[in-house]
Structure 1
Amino acid sequence: MTRLPTRRLLCLALATAIAGPAWTQEAPGTATAESPAAQPTAGSPADASFTVSDIRIDGLQRIGAGTVFTYLPIERGDTVDQARVGEAIRALYRTGFFEDVRVGRQGTILVVTVTERPAINKLTLSGNKDIKTEDLTKGLNDIGLAEGETFDRLALDRVTRELTRQYNNRGKYNVEIDPTLSRLDRNRVDITININEGKAAKIRHINLVGNEDFEQDELIDSWESAETNWLSWYRSDDQYSREKLEGDREKLRNFYLDRGYIDFSEDSMQVAISPDKRDMYITAGLTEGEVYEVSSVELTGDTVLPKEELEKRVLLQPGQTFSRALLEFSADSITTTLANIGYAFAQVNTIPEVDRDNRKVAITLQVVPGPRVNVRRIVFRGNTRTSDEVMRREMRQFEGAWYSQAAIDRSKVRLQRLGFFETGSVNVETTPVAGTTDLVDVVFDVKETTSGSFVFGLGYSQLSGLTTSIQLSQNNFLGSGNRISIEAQRNVYLQRYAFSFLNPYFTDNGLSLGYNVWWREFDNSEFNTARYSTTSAAAQTILGLPITENDTVTAVFGIDRNQIFAFDGVSPQSIVDYIDAFDTRTFHAWRGELAWARDTRNDFLQPTRGTLQRVSAEVSLPGSTAQYYKLNYEFSKYWPLSRRFVLNTRAEIGYGDSYGDDVVRDVCFSNPVPLDHDNDPTTPDILVPGPAPSDPCDTTSPDYIRTITATGLPFFENFYAGGSRSVRGFRDNTLGPREAASNSAFLQPIGGALKTVGSVEMFFPTLLDSPAARVSAFVDFGNVYRDLDSFDAGEMRASAGVSLLWRAPVGPITISYAFPLRKEDSDEIERLQFSFGGAF
């Protein structure tokens, strides 16, 4: 009897709730507090639907009412019921602009009350070192988390998962992602994502099971993943990465397929991690299978060219062990050959027929040339400074001509060798023209780099006083490709003013024309050379003519004037004698130079392959004060050993001598007179010049006649070695012959007529994660000799060290540290050497 009243009360309460107005609705999961303006009007169930006379939007701050009306599926005059209200709430919530949406009525006015999601004012990432901030920011943008965007709290959870996944793929399983939120005024938030990357898990052991014909070390030699070893600090190959392991699995499969193991299979690949997530253990199960031999190779399809010509490109022949690498190379060679004559989309389908009983494989190469295409347009993108004309004249692929892959590849190399673009930034894309099958556009994407330098120096020392220097050079002046340089330098021992200009395309066929003009006052003793000073000036004209794609001939003609000041007792005696033999301090020269250069390097700034050779012959023409010649040969070759290592071998040989008759002169000298400079009979006297000799010389007096001869290369044209540009670890210009003044025991470097220097340098392109920097280890060797007869390989000097070249935003910086390997006690050692210049 007691349960009946209870049931009646429950039914009565339920009926009352259903009969009441149901207009206040909200988005799921939000609070239920209502605005007074949104209080529903009481009524019966019959009043649940009504016609909207007006719509009011409350709670807007940044978003305009028009935006809400755009997404709201209710307009004035519509009849609204609960279903329409629910639809409206869902529509507004889907926009992502609001974190709370409520709909109510005030009479016949529909009232929509919203709470906007805050806007992201600032997004900060901290603690990330392994992944660049710009890469992380791009990933955050993809999931809707960016400055200025509407903040969605759920996005933070997605960010944490995404960043964790990225770091896990790099082997960092201890990564911690801690996003924090700071609320600001005007409904804004600052988001800070603190990242504790932790350390990457190390590969402690790799175990291959099932390999019988090959040792494990041979199989994993080319892997990017490796057990911890003594080079791991550099190569980071012991850091586990899922992407690296996938690539290594493909290398393992290629290893066997390239050796004929067609049935090779990887049965399992297990990766185990230690409880502390610091150590990884990789185990792979293999089935090698049998070695297959090629039974036949057949070329089918539309070969376009004579079949015999394409068959020469096939390296895999019957009777050989099957090799997928040779098969792919043969197919690529055929497609490249067809691409060079216009068939840009040629394909070669390789169809193997495997006879497992006899372990033979028959190969069919089906050639599908596709349509022959013309190049409609060549487009350049990214050259904000360099004009299209400068780039277009380097093209070997022309508009309106048949497509040629070889010409496009050569055009790319020529652009890279200009030196106007970042290393590796020249990319080529071939895009078909819409609506056609025989036209394509070739697009060259480039990224410009600094092509000029601005060097400014200001300093003070007791030796030289105030020093100022300024040099402005631009290899791409105003984007025209012309090279211009202006230099002004001044201190107590040097004044120099110079101007040079070169137009590499003075004519359309590539004839270059340039000019050099300079004037200089120089005290050579401050340049680590013999003590004498010069005042010189020169003017030159330069002509260059390309004779092949890689070969250039250059001719230089000019006139120069060199006034030399050397003094007895201060300058080396050979220099004083040379000047006295000519009976003049001013040397004039009509100078000519002819040079040949071959350059096959793939890049101007940081080449990784190719050779540079240069042979030059310089001669002072008849009519010059001194008649001489200089020969020089330079060689540099880059050997790409792998992705991580590039070997560079360099050598330079220079030789000079006089031609014609020697200059011989009888000179009247006064005998030097001893002087007791300290009134101490136990110390040696010094010699000072005696009384001025009479004219003509009186052989009975203290005067005497001495015959002097000027021969060989003039001392002011000597070669020098030592320093950052030749043999590092030794002071600039200090290697080679030395000579003292007549009254001194101090030996001064005077250079020589024969120069032999060389270097073996290993570059590590990937050691620094920057295309503008590279590190190298080197061995330098060389010396300078007085003449050809003085050459002695045992006198060679050598050094070894490391070097850093960085094209920094403020300028190119070169730093080297070297240890001399072969030296003499009298050599001047300078282990740390650097040079600096600004760039723009």
Structure 2
Amino acid sequence: MTRYPVRRLLALALASTLSLPAMAQSVEPFTVSDIRIDGLQRIAAGTVFTYLPVERGETMDQAAAGETIRALYRTGFFEDVAVDRQGDILVITVKERPAINKLTLTGNKDIKTEDLTKGLQDIGLAEGETFDRLALDRVTQELTRQYNNRGKYNVQITPTVSPLDRNRVDVTIDVKEGKAAKIRHVNVIGTDSFSNEDILANWESRESGWLSWYRRDDQYSREKLSGDMEKLNSWYLDRGYIDFSIDSTQVSISPEKRDMYLTASVTEGEVYTISEIKVTGDTVLPQDQIERLVIPKAGDTFSRVLLELSADSITNTLSNIGYAFARVNPVPTTNREDRTVAINLQVVPGPRVNVRRIVFKGNTRTSDEVIRREMRQFENAWYSQAAIDRSKIRLQRLGYFETVEVETPAVAGTSDQVDVVFNVKETTSGSFVFGLGYSQLAGMTASIQLSQNNFLGGGNRVSVEAQRSDYMQRYAFSYLNPFFTDEGLSLGYNLWWRELDYSDFNTAQYNSTNAAAQAVLGLPITEHSSISLLGGIDSNQIQTYPGSTPQSIIDYVNAVGQRTFHAWRTELGWARDTRNDFFMPTRGMYQRIGLETTLPGSTVEYFKINYEFSRYWMLHPAFVLRTGLDLGYGDSYGDDTVRNLCWTPGSYVDSDGDGQIDTYVPGPAPSEPCLPSSPDYDKTVVATGLPFFENFYAGGTRSVRGFRDNTLGPRSEPTGGYSRGQPLGGSLKTVGQIEMVFPRLFDSKAARVSAFVDFGNVYDGWDNFDANELRASAGVALLWRAPVGPISISYAYPFKKKDGDEIERLQFTFGGGF
């Protein structure tokens, strides 16, 4: 019997070099009558046979033995292989590599565990896979490199392999990240025309500053520095310095690996102007139409960014009419003596492309029809980049998807067809909530709510709600079909009943019981704009409390002559929405104006106008500026209601003898209306203006934070136990916000932090508006769509206030919308 030993190999080539000479000295060719595999524990013998290059009946010689060994090593299953012969039986003895029982990562904060796990799985280092020591070494080196690139040079990666029974191992990778080295100084040498401050303004690598804790721009990374060098090059090319060059870059680190020093040496060169600029090639569209898209003109200072914008404008224009692969090649001709450059923009349109199919992936709940009706790019139509981009934004604004990505793969075998693939990741579009909430305004809230914005995946919105709190009972049902017709006409219904105790609502003391049935129609009139029409009937029963309810409210109810107000109500609205996202917009604008009115024949006849405005600017990936405005005005129309009342008013008495008036003794109830000549005549009451139960309110978490909810604006006369009077609201509302949102503070679209300035107030009509009466506050806020319900927390400091204002700096709401 002859044995061919093969030691552990670090590489396949080394295996061939070491083993083949030994076998060549001792192998005698023989015909294999059978094959036996020894040493297998987890791997089935049948699996090994599929990799063997030799079968029964074939001749085994030195070359075949070497190929057998190489084939088995290539599988990655074995760390040792030996070939034996017992008579005419080929015996292959193997030592399996152990299987990974458990893979654990500890200490990693800068790089997420899920990202690391996925990367390890891609190279075969995962639970259940065969353990490879070389792969573990490569992982250690790669992790060290990645952390170094993030400026963490003190990182320590310690892998531990713990053997287990049945040829298994546990692998633990312990990461001690250490602290990132901070950039202490950045210097650009050779900049005679510009200051370093101007050049470094847009760099990602910057010296430590007071905002570096948030922006992390003082942490060095190789990728950031490479990008900054490109920005430096662009800075000069955009200002005409065609001969600009970066001569060298130097990165120095302190001995303790905590401080970084960056230096770049440059040569500026001279400024060039454009002597001529022309468009050539197949422009498809009329030549003069394309030339109008070119921004720089002859005589202007050369600017690469303006040339790129011009090229992008031309390619975008052509891509919108089907030329998806259009290119514009700027060809410069430089005259260094005159310091001029001639530019030739060569247009290469490529083939006109047709969209074969539009495919949706990832929508496990949402039907294709719901997504397809948002498309502005159509199948079997010319490719349009603008239509595809618009389709993506419409999907993002539905609120059904966490992410939306678009691919346009070419159709195999053709040069003029593509497919458009939308990859979506669905998010929760509905909820079933049974639980408790708390807010400083409402107190404890018990509610049960079933809502679905994408009911059964069909895009319809259904909500059933029952809610009870310290001040309110509410039962409601709503339904909306946003595509009742193929043209986009929406149809919805609202039914609700509500009993509201305003005594716990920080407003005037009275009770209200409401019920309503409404129908809502909506119709898009442009890509961004729509109109809506609401019609319905409602009733509102008012209960007042003599001695507690302000006299102005009692007089209004008495003037009307009944406590139940019936109304035929309509509302006409117009809205325009160009925001780029449903949950977390970073740019775009939303505005809506609505006119609500009760029809003639209602108990009281009045109208209300509301205007809402929000606009978002992305100042930086880390900063989004939001401005908002909320205006409202209402008044009555038609004749005022006047009644003469015969009654005796109540009085306040000292009930406990402490010398202070504290108890109200009501007088007799009002009798039938009577003439002023009646001996029981007391006074005339008038119902005019916007009804008190339709007044606007301000102050609190949804308007001017830092002031107690609903407490701003007009108040009743101080009476009884209400020394400061009771908030009445007003018929004119002016509220605004300026808010800086920090979208990168959390790696989640479910939470955001902002710093804000709120201002506003409510007034009793136009004539009483006074800008000096506006209140204002500044503060910070956290909004979080938590799994248990939305949470809003704000801390505000009122910096424009007056004596008597009710201040509440820390405000929060749990379980309500925001």
TM range, normalised to the smaller chain?
over 0.9
Secondary structure of 1:112's match?
Answer: strand
Q: Which residue of 1 aligns with 2:706?
A: 729
- Whether 2:807 is the aligned partner of 1:812: answer no
Which structure: larger Rg? Answer: 1
1:420-439 matches, within 5 Å, as 420-422=400-402, 425-439=403-417
Deviation for aligned residue 1:430:
1.5
Q: Percent identity?
A: 70
Q: 1:464 to 1:418 in 2, by over 3 A?
A: closer
TM-score with structure 1 length normalisation? 0.91
CA distance in 2, matches of 1:464, 1:375: 54
| Offset of residue 366 of structure 1 | 0.7
Structure 1 partner of 2:272: 292
The corresponding residue for 2:15 is none
Greater shift in the superposed pair: 485-494 or 437-446? 485-494
The counterpart of 1:714, out of the listed 691, 702, 708, is 691
Aligned to 2:188: 208
2:392 is matched with 412
Distance 1:465 1:820 in 2: 23
- Alpha-carbon offset, residue 605 of structure 1: 1.4
Residue 200 of structure 2 is aligned to residue 223 of structure 1: no
Contact 1:569 1:741 survives alignment (8 Å): no
Tell me which amino acid in the other structure corresponds to 1:712. Answer: G
**What is the rounded CA distance, in whole Å, between the counterparts of 1:166 and 1:367 in structure 2?**
41
Aligned mates of 1:461, 1:768 — CA distance in 2: 24
Partner of residue 749 from structure 2, selected from 771, 784, 790: 771
Please list, as runs of the form range in 1=range in 2, the aligned pairs for 1:592-607 lying within 5 A after superposition: 592-607=570-585
State the shift of 1:558 in Å: 0.6
Q: What CA distance in whole angstroms lies between the structure 1 residues aligned with 2:739 and 2:438?
A: 36
User: Per the alignment, in what secondary structure is the counterpart of residue 618 of structure 1?
Assistant: strand
1:671-717 CA distance string (max 9 Å, x none):
4356441245x444745124567779799999542111111100000
Quote the offset at 1:812 in angstroms.
3.1
Give the Cα separation in 2 of the matches to 1:327 and 1:282.
31
2:77 is aligned to 97
Q: What's the counterpart of residue 622 of structure 1?
A: 600
Structure 1 stretch 518-527 or stretch 829-838: which is displaced more? 829-838
Q: In structure 2, what is the equivalent of residue 490 of structure 1? A: 468
CA distance in 1, matches of 2:40, 2:408: 50
Q: Which residue matches 2:135? A: 155
Contact 2:651/2:667 (<8 A) preserved:
yes
Match of 2:800 in 1: 822
Assess if the C-alpha contact under 8 Å between 1:262 and 1:292 holds in 2: yes
Work out whether 1:343 is the aligned partner of 2:323.
yes
Structure 2 residue corresponding to 1:273, chosen from 243, 253, 259: 253
1:330 pairs, out of 307, 310, 316, with 310
Contact kept in structure 2, 1:71 and 1:91, CA below 8 Å: yes
* TM-score with structure 2 setting the length: 0.94
For 1:524, the equivalent position in structure 2 comes to: 502
Letter in structure 1 aligned against 2:735: V
1:791 counterpart = 2:769: yes
Q: Counterparts in 2 of 1:76-87, with a 5 A limit?
A: 76-81=56-61, 84-87=64-67
Residues 132-281 of structure 1 mapped to structure 2, 5 A cutoff: 132-281=112-261
Q: Distance in 2 between matches of 1:46 and 1:178?
A: 45
Deviation string for 1:526-575 (max 9, x for gaps)?
12221111111001111111111111111111100111100210111111
Q: Name the counterpart of 2:16.
A: none
Residues in 2 aligned to 1:183 and 1:502: alpha-carbon distance in whole angstroms: 61
* Aligned positions of 1:732-751 closer than 5 A: 732-740=709-717, 743-746=720-723, 747-751=725-729
For the residues of structure 2 that align with 1:548 and 1:476, how far apart are their CA atoms? 24
Equivalent residues in 2 for 1:570-649, closer than 5 Å: 570-649=548-627
2:685 is the counterpart of 1:705 = no
8 Å CA contact 1:453–1:811 kept in 2: the answer is no
* Structure-2 change in CA distance of 1:674 and 1:437 (3 Å): closer
Alignment deviations for residues 188-240 of structure 1 (CA, whole Å, 9 cap, x no partner): 11111010011111111112111111111111111000011111111110100
Looking at structure 2, the residues matched to 189 and 102 of structure 1 have their Cα atoms a distance apart, in angstroms, of: 24
3-state SS of paired residue (1:262): coil
Which secondary structure state, in structure 1, belongs to the residue aligned with residue 611 of structure 2? Answer: strand
Question: Would the aligned equivalents of 1:671 and 1:703 in 2 still touch at CA under 8 Å?
Answer: no
Q: Distance in 1 between matches of 2:360 and 2:9?
A: 54
Q: For residue 655 of structure 2, what is the amino acid of its counterpart?
A: H
Code of the residue aligned with 1:234 in structure 2: it is Y
Query: In the comparison of the two structures, how many residue pairs are matched?
Result: 802
Give the drift of 1:377: 1.2
1:737 Cα deviation from its structure 2 partner = 1.4
- Match of 2:194, SS state, is coil
Q: Which amino acid aligns with 1:659?
A: Y
Superposition deviation, residue 648 in structure 1:
0.9
User: Which range is displaced more, 206-215 or 687-696?
Assistant: 687-696
Deviates more, 1:652-661 or 1:827-836: 827-836
Are the structure 2 counterparts of residues 769 and 671 from structure 1 closer, same or farther at C-alpha, using a change threshold of 3 Å?
A: closer
Go from structure 1 to structure 2 and tell me whether the alpha carbon gap of 1:438 and 1:26 turns closer, same or farther (over 3 Å shift): closer
Give distance in 2, aligned partners of 1:268 and 1:226: 18
Contact 2:438 2:444 in 1 (8 A): yes
Q: Equivalent residue for 1:3?
A: none
Q: Is the 1:454–1:838 Cα contact (8 Å) retained in structure 2?
A: no
Which consecutive residues of structure 2, in runs of 5 or more, have no partner in the other structure?
A: 11-24
Output aligned runs, 1:421-570, within 5 Å: 421-422=401-402, 425-458=403-436, 468-491=446-469, 493-570=471-548
Is the CA contact (8 Å cut-off) linking 2:439 and 2:813 kept in structure 1? no
Equivalent position of 1:63 in the other structure? 43
Kept after mapping to 1: 8 A contact 2:644/2:681:
no
Kindly indicate whether the alpha-carbon contact (under 8 Å) linking 1:347 and 1:368 is maintained by their aligned counterparts in 2: yes
Q: How many angstroms apart in 2 are the aligned matches of 1:283 and 1:804?
A: 40
Separation in 2, partners of 1:391, 1:428: 13
Identify the residue that residue 41 of structure 1 maps to in structure 2: none
The alpha carbon displacement at 1:397 in A equals 1.4
Q: Output the amino acid matched with 1:122.
A: K
- How far apart are 1:466 and its partner, in Å? 8.0
Unaligned runs of 5+ in 1: 1-20, 31-44
1:661 is aligned to 2:639: yes
- Alpha-carbon distance in 1 for matches of 2:440, 2:287: 80
1:116 aligns with 2:93: no
1:689 aligns with 2:689: no
2:363 to 374, 383, 390: 383
> Matched residue of 1:475: which SS?
strand
